[in-house]
Amino acid sequence: MSSLDTLTTLTQKLDEGRPALDKFDRYVNGDQPLAFLAPEVAESTQGRLKPLNVGWPRLVVQSVEERLDVSGFRTPGADKPDAALWDVWQANNLDEESQLLHLDSLVYGRGYALVWADDYGQPRITVESPREVFVARYPGSRRRRYAVKRWVEDGRGHCVLFTETHVFRFRTESRMTEPAILDGFTSGWVLSKSWPNPLGVVPVVPFPNKPRTLKPDGESELADLLPIFDALNKLSTDLMVASEFHAMPRRWATGIELPEKEDENGHPTGEVDTSKAFAQESGRVWLAEPVDARLGQFPGADLSGFVNALATLTQSLGALSGLPPHYLGLHGDQPASADAIRSAEASLVSKVRRKQRVLSGGWEEVMRLAVAIRDGRFSPAMQRVETVWADPETRTVAQGADAATKLVAAGLLTPDAALEHYVGMTPGEIENNRNLRRRAALDAAALKVLGGGA
Is 315 contained in some domain?
Answer: no
Mean pLDDT of 136-148: 90
For the beta carbon of residue 143, count every other beta carbon within 10 angstroms: 11
pLDDT score recorded for residue 64: 94
State yes or no: pLDDT of 152 exceeds 90: no
Q: Quote the pLDDT of residue 277.
A: 57
pLDDT band at 335; cut points 50, 70, 90: low
Specify if 251 maps to a domain: no
Q: What confidence category does residue 45 fall into, taking pLDDT thresholds of 50, 70 and 90?
A: low
Overall average pLDDT of the 114-119 stretch: 94
Domain of 433, in residue numbers: 398-454
pLDDT digits (tens, 9 = 90+) for 249-303: 667 677 677 677 777 777 777 776 666 556 555 555 565 667 677 777 767 677 7
Higher pLDDT, 175 or 348: 348
Residue 266 lies in a domain: no
Are the beta carbons of 341 and 370 closer than 8 angstroms? Answer: no
Q: What is the average pLDDT across 46-57?
A: 76
> What is the arithmetic mean of pLDDT over 328-339?
67
Domain count, the chain: 1
Residue 359 lies in a domain: no
Give the model's pLDDT for residue 104.
96
- pLDDT above 90 (res 55): no
> Looking at residue 359, what is its pLDDT?
96
Residue 453 pLDDT more than 60?
Answer: no
Q: Is the pLDDT of residue 395 over 70?
A: no
Confidence grade of residue 130 (pLDDT, cut at 50, 70, 90): very high
pLDDT cut 90: percent of the chain above it: 38
348 part of a folded domain: no
Tell me the pTM. 0.80
For 93-108, what is each residue's pLDDT tens digit?
999 999 999 999 999 9
Average pLDDT of the segment spanning 319-341:
76
Structural domain contains residue 309: no
58 closest CA partner among 100, 98, 107:
107
Residue 412 lies in a domain: yes
Asked whether residue 446 is assigned to any structural domain, the reply reads: yes
7-35: pLDDT as tens digits: 888 988 998 999 999 999 999 998 888 77
